[in-house]
């Protein structure tokens, strides 16, 4: 389980804007403050990730690791219902950005603190994206396609799984730990599971490789309300399923959004 | 004529009896006849070049099978097996694949170890008599560099370098085909190309991009489409005829060696050979771009020369005359170097000069570390600026791109030591016209000294596009002709050599007042005389403005389009435009000063009384303006309480309402809060005797087990700047501490925050503890997972869904307290 470090030569200002809650603010909020925070965030972020793949028994929803990990929660089980293997991923940008954020608040630079926090979230997602791409490329070479990455806390997958998940995903060299309250430290860290599904013919035929917002928290489904937004989704049972993927989805504040 | 490569080996080995999980390369030892038979099939179907079964025959990969010590034996057997299958004109390429590990800093394998691992494998194959070395399916340019360096150090055989690109046209570590082709050609790759990962349709644009960037032959070995898993077996769907139909298109795009990778079979290769039978290859013209000097980072190419706009080289990463930077470098900290790098790029630098000349340090180690850090942070190419050969090699080795060596003089030692290093690592060199006789005074003398460096470089195998020229810049205050000689040198360089030119500007103005102005004027003259890349301080606004204007005048900025975008609305009455106004590249332009509500930059000539202006400034988040306005209000003898209530608090109420209505967003509220803070601080300074009465004491804490306190910090900031006294206990605070502090601090309100479901019960526990201890404070709760029902059942006196609501709730609770 080697630790990979990823170059971060920019941090996506549009994503940082979104994570800062400014998606709809437009020009009313100065772009320079966001790009400046992104630039400063690059000084603090050290993107690292590790992952490990395991066989997956979809009948019992069990990751065949040592020790085995049974997945509790209907949503995560649905997410992996076609998977033969899973990749457990852990990624972090280290603690420096949260320290800088705290200092900003202590010094009265509230806005910058808020923006740096959003930049940190953007950065760790970008690191996870880079790792995700390596995982997808490797899987594709073996005839698999990858599901989108699914993290503890999504849907009904309880965050208490972090304690069991992290050691299977990341080695100690990654310097991520889990608190008693099941939070990751450094805060700008993520764990996730990616399912690997055998490719059979047209890979576009299955919707479950895209974010299923209905699997996410209720708050996310409540805001999918306009006709335009509904167009981007199918309703399966009590779930909203993305048909077109993130690029076509108008729900810009979805926590699983990849773009 | 198009040469035909063979196809896949792995699937053929499995069909020949290789067991799943077994080492494919061991088959060369165990069953060489079967390996030869596979090769023979490809030869019979038309392959001109066959690849040895050695893709994973490096000691790192072989160690997985306990065969670490068998590299040489396996390679010899593999070459023998291939050779046995050849016709008289068939060539054998020794296959070299990845070690499976990424090189530091991306991974944990050191560059030197990677080179050593590849040397062992390639040396063994060269010894066994291959005709080519093919380094293939490499996903990281740094690993390719290591393998290519290894190959060049152990054999003179032609080396084919093939990277694996993803569907976005880049390797997974970010290198595009153009950048890869330029870098690998510079390092001596004989043939450049791509294989694996994608099918022929997706690799077509890769071939086109490479053909445009290099004059080297291009080889391409696509997969037979994207694989599928059928009954547990990896199956590639593209049939031979469909696969072969792409071969003429790939040849037309510039490929001169075409074969197959995963999923291809002898039938695919037969179909390719057939499809190309009728194809008459055209001579591939060398593009202008392929003749042009270029530098690269891992992921970006910068071209230099008369056909391209001048490129600004940032000079700030240089400890000379910068004591703080020197001290940081000496201490091993890279924060300031990284900050300088980011800000220079933001200010418009297209290349960064890196100098680690701190006395008393290990410059080689410092250069390696600086280059490594910068290669992870910025994507513009670097110039390695040193006089120390060890530092030069350390920097070039660490850099996953094509750097510029700054510089190589005509001094014999410098030529002897620097040229081989630059050549080895594929760097471009800046030729400096300084010889053993010192600095030549006239332009003609400089040309002659520069010619010595150029001739030595060409003799050492450099190409013309590897060479750049420095005209030398001397001080005009000491020699009135100094600037003119530099300009004359630039003109002569263009006439005599035609290479791109690079020079540091600032020497020219040494000893004069208003140096930026002199430098700026000199820069524009130099650009007209043929300067392609000035080395300067990108933060020097006068210089930058002059350069931007020169770009219009010299026709690089067509019809002044970029200039118009940058300078529309800029003032022309000041001594300089360099205030950053209107310039996207300006460092810090607009930061923290722009309006939260409108985006405008300042309140100028606002209507209304001063309290109205104060209110508007808070709403707009104008921190600088508010200080002036509060002072103005104080001068008008307005009491502090009136300024607070009618100006500041009224503004926060208004922005709170706008937030509630969804017209403004949280960061804008925080900007207003910061402005409030600046106003309160000004009031405190201006009217120390008129203390503003606290609206109440609020003790804030994120509960035990919860380490995320951004939400609590936001609430605390807003409360504080709405007149409350906040005692912030931080995060992960146990109930007993909160109880003790609430009593000790005589808190009116205790605000509790929890982010996670796992820590939510701590809110119940803390409220219960406060009640049990008889603490008279009222309680309010909030956080991502808290809702009104939960807060109520936990016994809280109120619930706040967001920070603005928390302020209102605190005000309400204080009214309840009476």
pLDDT of residue A256: 52
Shared domain for B681 and B812, answered yes or no, is: no
Write out pLDDT tens, residues A61-78: 999 999 999 999 999 999
Write out pLDDT tens, residues B686-710: 887 776 788 999 999 999 988 888 8
**Contact: A3, B108; criterion CB under 8 Å:** yes
Q: CA B661, B662, B664: angle at the middle one, nearest 5?
A: 110
- Quote the tokens at residue A178: 């889990």
pLDDT of residue B71: 98
Percent of chain A with pLDDT over 90: 65
Q: What is the mean pLDDT of residues B511-535?
A: 96
Do B456 and B436 contact (CB within 8 A), yes or no?
no
Query: Residues 252-311, chain B: which have Cβ within 8 Å of A?
Result: 262, 298-299
Write out pLDDT tens, residues B194-205: 999 899 999 999
Is residue B582 a part of any domain in this protein? no
Q: What is the mean pLDDT of residues B802-807?
A: 90
Q: What distance, in Å, lies between the first and last C-alpha atoms of chain A?
A: 28
For B375, name the nearest residue in chain A, comparing CA atoms only.
A7
Separation of alpha carbons B622 and B605, rounded Å: 14
**Considering only CB atoms, which chain B residues are within 8 Å of A51?**
none
Tell me the binding residues of B: 196, 261-262
Do B35 and B28 contact (CB within 8 A), yes or no?
yes
When pLDDT is cut at 50, 70 and 90, the band that residue B785 belongs to is confident
Q: How many CB atoms lie within 10 A of CB B789?
A: 9
Percent of chain A with pLDDT over 70: 77
- Quote the tokens at residue B355: 């100098």
Least-confidence region, from A245-259, B275-289, B428-442, B545-559: A245-259
Closest CA to B119 of B60, B64, B32: B60
Shared domain for B174 and B39, answered yes or no, is: yes
Residue A206 scores a pLDDT above 50: no
Residue B778, class by beta-carbon neighbours within 10 Å (0-12 exposed, 13-18 middle, 19+ buried)?
buried
pLDDT of residue B663: 86
* Distance from the A119 Cα atom to the nearest Cα atom in chain B, whole angstroms: 13
Separation of alpha carbons B253 and B207, rounded Å: 6
Interface test with B, best of A1, A7, A18 (most B CBs within 10 A): A7
* Distance from the A170 Cα atom to the nearest Cα atom in chain B, whole angstroms: 14
Residue B549 scores a pLDDT above 80: yes
- Quote the tokens at residue B723: 């007149």
**Considering only CB atoms, which chain B residues are within 8 Å of A5?**
105-107, 376
Shared domain for B453 and B536, answered yes or no, is: yes
When pLDDT is cut at 50, 70 and 90, the band that residue A125 belongs to is very high
Shared domain for B318 and B205, answered yes or no, is: no
Q: What is the mean pLDDT of residues B395-409?
A: 98
**Whose structure tokens read 């053929």?**
B12
**Contact: A114, B375; criterion CB under 8 Å:** no
**Considering only CB atoms, which chain B residues are within 8 Å of A141?**
196-197, 227, 262
Cα→Cα distances B272→A248, B9, B253, B442, B550, Å: 39, 17, 16, 61, 53
Shared domain for A23 and A41, answered yes or no, is: yes
**Considering only CB atoms, which chain B residues are within 8 Å of A3?**
107-108
Shared domain for A22 and A145, answered yes or no, is: yes
Separation of alpha carbons B19 and A107, rounded Å: 65
Do B644 and B615 contact (CB within 8 A), yes or no?
no
Percent of chain B with pLDDT over 70: 95
Shared domain for B627 and B752, answered yes or no, is: no
Interface test with A, best of B667, B718, B754 (most A CBs within 10 A): B667
Shared domain for B125 and B253, answered yes or no, is: yes
Domain that holds residue A65: 4-209
Shared domain for A129 and A217, answered yes or no, is: no
Omega of the bond leading into B734 within 30 degrees of 0 (cis): no
**Considering only CB atoms, which chain A residues are within 8 Å of B108?**
2-3
**Whose structure tokens read 């696509």?**
B222
For A188, name the nearest residue in chain B, comparing CA atoms only.
B708
- How many structural domains comprise chain A? 2
**Contact: A43, B714; criterion CB under 8 Å:** no
| Chain A, chain B: beta-carbon pairs less than 8 Å apart | 179
Return the CATH number at B344: 3.20.20.20
Residue that finishes a domain, picked among B257, B282, B307: B282
Least-confidence region, from B530-544, B601-615, B652-666: B601-615
When pLDDT is cut at 50, 70 and 90, the band that residue B659 belongs to is confident
Query: Residues 132-191, chain B: which have Cβ within 8 Å of A?
Result: 139, 166, 172-174
Residue that finishes a domain, picked among A185, A209, A233: A209
**Considering only CB atoms, which chain A residues are within 8 Å of B784?**
none
Shared domain for B447 and B298, answered yes or no, is: yes
- Quote the tokens at residue B320: 């000379």
Closest CA to A167 of A70, A95, A90: A90
Separation of alpha carbons A164 and A168, rounded Å: 7
Which residue in A7, A20, A158 is closest to B375 by CB distance?
A: A7
- Report the range out of B44-48, B436-440, B570-574 with the highest average pLDDT: B44-48
- How many structural domains comprise chain B? 4
Shared domain for A111 and A228, answered yes or no, is: no
Shared domain for A147 and A74, answered yes or no, is: yes
Is the four-CA dihedral A200, A203, A209, A212 of positive or negative sign? Answer: negative
Write out pLDDT tens, residues B152-193: 999 999 999 999 999 889 998 999 999 999 999 999 999 999
What value of ipTM does the predicted structure carry?
Answer: 0.83
When pLDDT is cut at 50, 70 and 90, the band that residue A225 belongs to is very low
Least-confidence region, from A28-37, B22-31, B246-255, B452-461: A28-37
Residue A243 scores a pLDDT above 70: no
Question: Is B802 touching A (CB cutoff 8 A)?
Answer: no
**Contact: A22, B230; criterion CB under 8 Å:** no
* Distance from the A205 Cα atom to the nearest Cα atom in chain B, whole angstroms: 14
Separation of alpha carbons B401 and B766, rounded Å: 57
Q: CA A37, A34, B808: angle at the middle one, nearest 5?
A: 100
Domain that holds residue B679: 610-686
Residue B6 scores a pLDDT above 90: yes
pLDDT of residue B570: 67
pLDDT of residue A201: 61
Average pLDDT over chain B, rounded to whole?
92
Shared domain for B337 and B399, answered yes or no, is: yes
Shared domain for B266 and B365, answered yes or no, is: no
Residue B236 scores a pLDDT above 80: yes
Shared domain for A205 and A218, answered yes or no, is: no
Shared domain for B17 and B115, answered yes or no, is: yes
For B172, name the nearest residue in chain A, comparing CA atoms only.
A134
Shared domain for B106 and B131, answered yes or no, is: yes
* Distance from the A240 Cα atom to the nearest Cα atom in chain B, whole angstroms: 22
Q: What distance, in Å, lies between the first and last C-alpha atoms of chain B?
A: 95
Write out pLDDT tens, residues B78-126: 999 999 999 999 999 999 999 999 999 999 999 999 999 999 999 999 9
**Contact: A32, B335; criterion CB under 8 Å:** no
Closest CA to B77 of B35, B105, B131, B134: B35
Closest CA to B781 of B769, B766, B799, B793: B799
For B711, name the nearest residue in chain A, comparing CA atoms only.
A114
* Distance from the B788 Cα atom to the nearest Cα atom in chain A, whole angstroms: 15
Residue that finishes a domain, picked among B226, B250, B282: B282
Residue that finishes a domain, picked among B662, B686, B710: B686
Write out pLDDT tens, residues B300-344: 999 999 999 999 999 999 999 999 999 999 999 999 999 999 999
Return the CATH number at B737: 3.40.50.280
Interface test with A, best of B592, B595, B710, B756 (most A CBs within 10 A): B710
Do B199 and B238 contact (CB within 8 A), yes or no?
yes
* Distance from the A242 Cα atom to the nearest Cα atom in chain B, whole angstroms: 23
Interface test with B, best of A114, A181, A197, A255 (most B CBs within 10 A): A181
- Quote the tokens at residue A238: 């009590």
Residue B632 scores a pLDDT above 90: yes
Is residue B605 a part of any domain in this protein? no
Q: What is the mean pLDDT of residues A201-217?
A: 40
Query: Residues 469-528, chain B: which have Cβ within 8 Å of A?
Result: none
Shared domain for A242 and A141, answered yes or no, is: no
Shared domain for A220 and A141, answered yes or no, is: no
pLDDT of residue A252: 53
**Contact: B667, A111; criterion CB under 8 Å:** yes
Return the CATH number at B631: 1.10.1240.10
pLDDT of residue A246: 52
Residue B546, class by beta-carbon neighbours within 10 Å (0-12 exposed, 13-18 middle, 19+ buried)?
buried
Which residue in A28, A114, A203 is closest to B670 by CB distance?
A: A114
**Contact: A7, B106; criterion CB under 8 Å:** yes
For B343, name the nearest residue in chain A, comparing CA atoms only.
A39
Separation of alpha carbons B802 and B800, rounded Å: 5
Shared domain for A191 and A138, answered yes or no, is: yes
**Considering only CB atoms, which chain B residues are within 8 Å of A21?**
665-667
**Whose structure tokens read 């606002």?**
B606
Shared domain for A223 and A177, answered yes or no, is: no
pLDDT of residue B20: 86
SS (H, E, C) chain A: CCCEECCCCCCCHHHHHHHCCCCCCHHHCCHHHHHHHHHHHHHHCCCEEEEEEEEEECCCCEECCCCCEECCCHHHHHHCCCCCEEEEEEEECCCHHHHHHHHHHHCCCHHHHHHHHHHHHHHHHHHHHHHHHHHHHHHHHCCEEECCCECCCCCCCCHHHHHHHHHHHCCHHHCCEECCCCCEECCCEEEEEEEEEECCCCHHHCHHHCCCHHHCCHHHHHCCCCHHHHHCEEEECCEEEECCCHHHCCCCCCCCCCC
Shared domain for A195 and A97, answered yes or no, is: yes
Do B80 and B32 contact (CB within 8 A), yes or no?
yes
pLDDT of residue B597: 46
pLDDT of residue B583: 31
Tell me the binding residues of B for Zn(2+): 196, 261-262
Separation of alpha carbons B534 and B506, rounded Å: 10
Question: Is B588 touching A (CB cutoff 8 A)?
Answer: yes
pLDDT of residue B606: 53
pLDDT of residue B76: 98
């Amino acid at each position: 389980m080697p630790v990979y470090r990823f170059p971060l030569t920019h941090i996506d200002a549009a994503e940082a804007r979104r994570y800062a809650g400014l998606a709809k603010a437009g020009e009313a909020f100065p772009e320079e403050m966001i790009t400046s925070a992104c630039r400063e965030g690059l000084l603090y972020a050290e993107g690292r990730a590790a992952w490990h793949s395991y066989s997956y028994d979809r009948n019992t929803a069990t990751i065949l690791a040592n020790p085995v990990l049974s997945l509790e929660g209907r949503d995560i089980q649905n997410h992996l219902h076609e998977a033969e293997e899973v990749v457990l991923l852990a990624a972090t940008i280290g603690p420096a950005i949260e320290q800088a954020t705290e200092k900003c608040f202590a010094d009265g630079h509230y806005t910058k603190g808020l923006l740096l926090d959003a930049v940190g979230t953007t950065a760790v997602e970008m690191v996870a994206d880079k790792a995700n791409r390596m995982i997808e490329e490797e899987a594709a070479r073996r005839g698999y396609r990858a599901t989108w990455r699914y993290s503890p806390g999504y849907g009904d997958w309880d965050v208490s799984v972090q304690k069991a998940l992290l050691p299977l995903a990341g080695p100690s060299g990654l310097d991520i730990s889990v608190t008693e309250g099941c939070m990751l430290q450094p805060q700008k860290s993520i764990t996730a599971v990616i399912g690997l599904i055998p490719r059979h013919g047209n890979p576009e035929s299955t919707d479950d490789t895209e974010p299923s917002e209905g699997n996410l928290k209720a708050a996310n489904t409540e805001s999918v309300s306009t006709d335009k937004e509904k167009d981007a989704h199918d309703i399966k049972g009590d779930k909203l399923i993305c048909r077109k993927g993130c690029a076509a989805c108008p729900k810009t504040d979805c926590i699983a959004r990849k773009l | 004529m198009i040469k035909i490569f063979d196809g896949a080996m792995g699937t053929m080995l499995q069909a020949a009896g290789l067991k799943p999980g077994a080492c494919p390369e061991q088959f060369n030892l165990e069953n060489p006849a079967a390996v030869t038979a596979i090769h023979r099939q490809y030869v019979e179907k038309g392959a001109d070049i066959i690849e040895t079964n050695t893709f994973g025959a490096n000691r790192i990969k072989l160690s997985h099978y306990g065969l670490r010590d068998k590299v040489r034996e396996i390679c010899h057997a593999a070459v023998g097996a291939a050779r046995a299958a050849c016709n008289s004109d068939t060539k054998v390429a020794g296959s070299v694949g990845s070690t499976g590990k990424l090189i530091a800093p991306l991974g944990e394998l050191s560059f030197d170890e990677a080179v050593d691992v590849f040397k062992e494998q390639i040396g063994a194959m060269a010894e066994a008599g291959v005709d080519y070395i093919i380094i293939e399916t490499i996903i990281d340019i740094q690993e390719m560099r290591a393998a290519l360096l290894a190959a060049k150090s152990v054999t003179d055989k032609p080396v084919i370098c093939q990277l694996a690109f993803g569907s976005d046209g880049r390797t997974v570590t970010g290198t595009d085909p153009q950048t890869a082709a330029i870098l690998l050609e510079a390092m001596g790759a004989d043939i450049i190309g791509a294989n694996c990962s994608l099918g022929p349709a997706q690799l077509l644009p890769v071939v086109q991009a490479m053909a445009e960037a290099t004059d080297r032959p291009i080889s391409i070995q696509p997969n037979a489409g994207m694989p599928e898993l059928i009954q547990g077996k990896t199956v590639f769907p593209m049939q031979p005829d469909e696969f072969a139909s792409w071969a003429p298109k790939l040849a037309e795009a510039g490929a001169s060696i075409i074969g197959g990778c995963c999923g291809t079979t002898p039938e695919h290769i037969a179909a390719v050979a057939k499809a190309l039978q009728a194809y008459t290859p055209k001579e591939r013209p060398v593009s202008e771009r392929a003749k042009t000097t270029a530098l690269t980072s891992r992921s970006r190419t910068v071209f230099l020369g008369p056909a391209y706009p001048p490129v600004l080289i940032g000079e700030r990463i240089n400890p000379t005359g910068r004591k703080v930077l020197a001290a940081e470098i000496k201490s091993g900290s890279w924060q300031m170097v990284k900050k300088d790098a980011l800000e220079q790029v933001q200010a418009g630098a297209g290349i960064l000069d890196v100098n680690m000349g701190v006395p008393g340090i290990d410059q080689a180690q410092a250069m390696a570390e600086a280059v490594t850090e910068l290669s992870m942070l910025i994507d513009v190419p670097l110039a390695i600026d040193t006089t120390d050969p060890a530092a030069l090699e350390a920097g070039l080795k660490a850099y996953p791109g094509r750097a510029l060596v700054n510089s190589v003089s005509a001094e014999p030692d410098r030529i002897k030591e620097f040229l081989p290093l630059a050549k080895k690592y594929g760097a471009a060199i800046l030729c400096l016209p300084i010889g053993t006789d010192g600095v030549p005074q006239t332009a003609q003398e400089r040309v002659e000294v520069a010619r010595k460096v150029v001739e030595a470089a060409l003799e050492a195998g450099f190409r013309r596009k590897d060479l750049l020229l420095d005209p030398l810049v001397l001080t005009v205050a000491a020699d009135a002709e100094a600037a003119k000689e530099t300009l004359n040198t630039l003109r002569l360089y263009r006439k005599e050599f035609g290479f791109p030119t690079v020079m540091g500007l600032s020497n020219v103005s040494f000893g004069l007042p208003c140096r930026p102005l002199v430098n700026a004027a000199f820069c524009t003259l130099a650009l007209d005389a043929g300067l392609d890349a000035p080395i300067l301080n990108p933060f020097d606004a006068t210089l930058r403005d002059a350069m931007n204007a020169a770009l219009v005048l010299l026709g690089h900025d067509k019809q002044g389009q970029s200039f118009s975008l940058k300078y529309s609305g800029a003032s022309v009455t000041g001594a300089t435009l360099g205030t950053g106004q209107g310039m996207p590249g300006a460092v810090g332009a607009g930061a923290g000063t722009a309006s939260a509500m409108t985006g405008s930059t300042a309140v100028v000539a606002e209507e209304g009384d001063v309290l109205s202006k104060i209110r508007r400034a808070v709403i707009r988040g104008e921190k600088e303006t508010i200080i002036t306005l509060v002072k103005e209000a104080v001068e008008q003898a307005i009491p502090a309480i009136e300024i607070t209530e009618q100006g500041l608090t009224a503004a926060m109420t208004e922005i709170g309402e706008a937030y509630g209505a969804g017209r403004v967003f949280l960061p804008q509220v925080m900007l207003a809060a910061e402005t409030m803070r600046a106003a309160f601080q000004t009031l405190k300074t201006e009217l120390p005797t008129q203390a503003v009465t606290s609206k109440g004491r609020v003790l804030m804490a994120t509960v035990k087990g919860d380490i995320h306190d951004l939400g609590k910090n936001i609430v605390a900031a807003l409360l504080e700047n709405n007149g409350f006294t906040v005692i912030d206990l931080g995060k992960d605070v146990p109930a007993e501490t909160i109880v003790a502090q609430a009593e000790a601090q005589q808190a009116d309100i205790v605000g509790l925050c929890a982010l996670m479901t796992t820590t939510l019960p701590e809110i119940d526990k803390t409220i219960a503890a406060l009640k049990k201890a008889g603490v008279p404070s009222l309680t309010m709760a909030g956080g991502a997972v808290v809702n009104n029902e939960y807060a109520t059942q936990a016994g809280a006196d109120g619930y706040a869904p967001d920070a603005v609501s928390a302020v209102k709730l605190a005000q309400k609770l204080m009214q309840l307290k009476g």
